[in-house]
Homo-oligomer: A and B are copies of this chain.
Amino acid sequence: MIDKGVPTPAAAVAGIFHGASVMIGGFGTAGMPDQLIDALIDQGAGDLTIINNNAGNGETGLAALIAAGRVRKIICSFPRQSDSHHFDARYRAGDIELELVPQGNLAARIHAAGSGLGAIFTPTGFGTLLAEGKETREIDGKNYVLEYPIHADFALIKAEAADRWGNLVYRKTARNFGPIMAMAAKCTIAQVARIAPLGGIDPETIVTPGIFVQRIVHIASAAPSAAQAA
């Protein structure tokens, strides 16, 4: 019998190695897998390349991972925020490498990785600093930049519910990067607020089929109702 459930966040992040590339879901704090990140900090892996939309907020989650000195490089679209001081300090000190990617290209490159494409011509960024040095091409009268897929060794994402085969559904705008990161990583680890029985999620509504998910861990405290009460 296949059961992708693991008992604890520590078990969920086991095997994430020094130097790994790790996608982390979330847009700001919505969909951010806080408990998995905490477990990753405890686990100790460093020299990580992180792919996320942002570069951490405040003191928890990705910001804490950065503060702990575990991140060598970050690929993201929007690092600078009012409370991104941990990233800011390490970036200004030259301790973290930044690859800045327009948000839609970030999504498209992650999606391309999950879909097995070798590269894509995207119109976003043409003629800008972020396309400098990149191959460009005019196709049907419009200009495009060649962008390559972003793969990762691991993805840490947050979903609303899972069954033991790893099928996932999400909650509202916490969905964001979860489904495409799940496709693009070799090992996708999801923290979920609820475990459903097999067949308990309507097959028409499954957003991420279990084929894209390797481990799930139930985090009751990650339930949105709890977050709302906080």
Contact = CB atoms under 8 A, between A and B. Distances in A.
B123 A118 contact: yes
Interface of A: 108, 112, 115-123, 137, 139-140, 142, 144, 148, 169-172, 202, 204-205, 207
B117 A170 contact: no
A118 B226 CA distance: 44
Contacts of A115: 108
**How many monomers of this chain does the complex have?**
2
Contacts of A123: 116, 118
Contacts of A119: 120-121, 137, 139, 144
A55 B63 CA distance: 55
B117 A204 contact: no
A116 B143 CA distance: 11
Contacts of A204: 169-172, 205, 207
A8 to B, nearest CB: 28
